[in-house]
Structure 1
Amino acid sequence: MREAPVSREGSGSGAAVQPGRQEHFPLSSLRSDVLDASGHTTQHRELGETSWFAVDAGGRRTERAAWQFTGLPSYAGELEGRVAFAWRAMDAFYEEDERILGHAADAYHRIDIRDTSRTLEVRSGDKAIARTTRPLVLYESGFAPRWYVPREDIQEKELTPVEGQTFCPYKGLASYYDIGEAKKAAWSYREAYTEVGRVDDLVSFEPDKVEVYLDGERLHLEPGQQVVPHGVDRGLGTDEALSH
C-alpha cells in the first residue's frame, strides 16, 4: 500500500518503538474507509494502551498495519487523535514527492565528515594494504568514528570485490571487499548519497578483520561499530534501494 490514503500533516513526537522518525497523522486527515479496528491492543511501556487497525486500500487489506495510542499519559497529549502506519505493512512511504527508503530520517541523527592529516595505515599480515596522510573521518550519531581512505592510497590489487551489498538510509548502498582470508574486511559507498558525497568511492576498513593503525596506534573494534538492524524498519535490505 502507498501512503496515498493519508496526508502528511505535522509530525507528532516520535514513539519509542521507532528508531527513525515516526509520523503520526491526524484522524481527520484520513479517508474514512481506510482503517478497520481489529480489537487487538498492546501495552506500550511509556505511552500506554495501543489499539491496532487493519488497513483497507487499493483493493487490499493488511492486518495490524496501523496503530493509535489510546491511553496516553498527559506529557504525550500531542499524539491524541493521531494514527501511525507500520513501515513494514506499507508498500512505500513518501515525503512530498520523494520516496523514503529504509526508514524516515531521524531529526537527531547527524553525520559529520572531517579532513585530517593524520596517518592511517592498513595491513594484512605482512602485506601493506593502504597508507594515507589524508583520510576522512566520518562521525555518525550512535556509532564510533569511521576512517575512509582515497583509492589512490590503496593497493587495490589486494581488494577482492564480493557479491552482496547492504543499505544505509543515510549513506546509500555499500559494496564489500575481501582482503586475503579476511571476509568483507573493507567497504565503499561507490555512489554515496549527495549528503555524504565526500566519502563517495572511498574505502573504509574493519579494524577487527585487518590491522588498522592511526598515527602508529592500532585501532580496535569499538562499541557502536557493529550495525544491528532495527526490528521496526521497513527493512534495510537492498531490493527497495536498487529498484529506485
Structure 2
Amino acid sequence: MSKPGQFRADLAARQRSWQGLETVDQGLPELARHLLTNGPHRTQPTARRVRVILNSTCVVDTTKAVHVWEHVAYPQYYVPITALRNCRWKDKQDIQSTGDATQAAAAVVEVTVPGRNGGNDFTTDRALRFSDNGEISGALKGLVRLEFGSMDQWLEEETPIYVHPKDPYKRIDILPSTRPVEINVAGKTVAKTGFAVHLLETGLPTRYYLPLASVDQSALRKSKLVTKCPYKGDAEYYNVVVDGKEYSDLVWYYRLPTQESAGIAGLLCFYNEKVDIILDGEVLERPKTFFS
C-alpha cells in the first residue's frame, strides 16, 4: 500500500507552470521516462548527511546524496541504491529506455520496512530506481528517488527538513525598513505603515511584511488555507473584503516561522501580484509570477 506521508506541499499547479510536466499527476513511470529522455535540469552532489525515516526506521543514512532538479524550481534528493538500509526492496515495474526497449533503464521499486516492537511491516511503491548502466540512465546512474512526501521524515545532519529539500542556490534576506508602505485593493487603502520587513527570496519579488495593527481589521476574514514552505514554515491566510467583494487568500502570515525566517513572525504580507503596493511614494509594478 502507499503512504501519503506527514508533510506534503500543494505544488502540482506550480510544477506544471515551471516545466510543463505534471510530475505529481502523471506518476513515477512518466517522471522516469521524462528524465531518461530529457535528462534532469541539473544535478549536484552534496556533502550533507541525509537520513530518511520510514515506519519508525532509518532507511537511508548517507553522505552521498545528490540534489536533482527535475524542473527549474527546486531539487529533490536522490541517493545511491546502496544507501538503502533496514529494509527490503524489489523492482515492481520496469521502465525501458527509449533508445533500447530491451533494457530496463529504470524501475518503480517496492520498499518494505519491517515492523518494530511487534508492529506491522510497511510497504510503499513510491520509489524509482535508475539503472547502473550510465549509457541508458545518464546522470542518474545507480540512484534511487524516494518520494519526499511519502516518507515520514527527512533530516539534513540533525535538522528536520519539510515540504522538499532546500535549494542550495536560494537565499533569503530579511531586512527591517522604515520606508512607508501602503496597500491598495480595488482602489481602497487596506494597510498603511511607516515600518515593514522586506523579505528578499531568490527568484521571487520582494515581499513586504507589515505589522498586524497597520492593516484594516474590518477587511480581514480568516481563510482555511494553510501552505507549507521549507524556508519559512506554515503560512495561514486571510481573505480581504472591499466594498462587499471578497478576495480569497490575499494575505498570509507565519505564526511560528522557521529559525531562519524568525524576523517575519506574526507579520502580514499581501501578494504583490494581486494588489497595488505604494513603497516610499512610488507605485510598484505588479510582478508576473506563477502566483499571478
Computed over aligned residues only, the root mean square deviation of the Cα atoms, in angstroms, reads 3.2
Give the CA deviation at 1:166.
Answer: 1.5
CA contact (8 A) 2:58 2:86 kept: no
Q: Deviations over 1:32-87 (max 9, x none)?
A: 8522023411659xxx943332112131322252322544369x66x543333222
CA gap 1:125/1:25 in 2 versus in 1, 3 angstroms: closer
**How many Å apart are 1:115 and its aligned residue?**
2.7
State the partner residue of 1:235: none
Residue 25 of structure 1 corresponds to which residue in structure 2?
79
For 1:142, which of 203, 213, 225 is the aligned residue? Answer: 203
SS of 1:196's equivalent in the other structure is helix
Higher helix share: 2
Equivalent position of 1:194 in the other structure:
259
Cα shift at 1:198: 1.0
Letter in structure 1 aligned against 2:147: A
Question: Residue type matched to 1:201 in 2?
Answer: G
In 2 relative to 1, CA 218–3 (structure 1 residues): closer, same or farther, beyond 3 Å?
Answer: farther
Is the 1:182–1:210 contact (alpha carbons within 8 Å) kept by the matching residues of 2? no
Contact 1:65–1:90 at 8 Å: present in 2 too? Answer: no
**Is contact 1:50-1:68 (8 Å) kept?**
yes
Question: TM-score w.r.t. structure 1 length?
Answer: 0.75
Instruction: Say if 2:273 and 2:287, in contact at 8 Å, map to a contact too.
Output: no
- The offset of 1:177, in angstroms, is 1.5
The secondary structure found in structure 2 opposite 1:6 is strand
2:128 is the counterpart of 1:66:
yes
Q: Is the 8 A contact 1:187 1:204 kept in 2?
A: yes
1:218 aligns with 2:283: yes
Report whether the alignment pairs 1:16 with 2:67.
no
Matched pairs, number: 223
2:168 paired with 1:168: no
1:183 alignment counterpart: 248
Q: Provide the residue aligned with 1:54 in structure 2.
A: 110
Cα-to-partner distance string for 1:159-183 (whole Å, 9 max, x where unaligned): 2222232111211111111221222
Q: C-alpha separation between the residues in 1 aligned to 2:249 and 2:60?
A: 42
CA distance in structure 2 between the aligned counterparts of 1:145 and 1:225, rounded to whole angstroms: 15
Task: Tell me whether 14-23 or 3-12 shows the greater mean CA deviation.
Answer: 14-23
The 5-angstrom pairing of residues 105-124 of structure 1 reads 105-124=166-185
* Aligned: 1:7 with 2:61: yes
TM-score by length of 2: 0.64
2:269 counterpart residue number: 204
The residue that corresponds to 1:231 in the other structure is none
Shift of 1:114: 1.8
Query: Against the structure 1 CA distance between its residues 211 and 80, is the aligned structure 2 distance closer, same or farther, given a 3 Å change threshold?
Result: closer
Task: Give structure 2 stretches of 5+ with no counterpart.
Answer: 1-54, 99-103, 115-120
Return the letter of the residue paired with 1:72: G
Structure 1 residues 215-224 or 194-203, which shifts more?
Answer: 215-224
Deviation string, structure 1 residues 85-134 (Cα, Å, up to 9, x no partner)? 22244233233444322112221121112233322112345643221222
Q: Is there any run of 5+ residues in structure 1 with no aligned partner, and where?
A: 228-244
Report the alpha carbon displacement of residue 225 of structure 1 after superposing the two structures with TM.
Answer: 5.7
Distance 1:182 1:15, change over 3 A: closer
For 2:175, give the aligned amino acid.
Answer: R
- Structure 2 distance, partners of 1:102, 1:27, is 23
CA 81–178 in structure 1, closer or farther in 2 if over 3 Å, else same: closer
Report the AA paired with residue 95 of structure 1. Answer: E
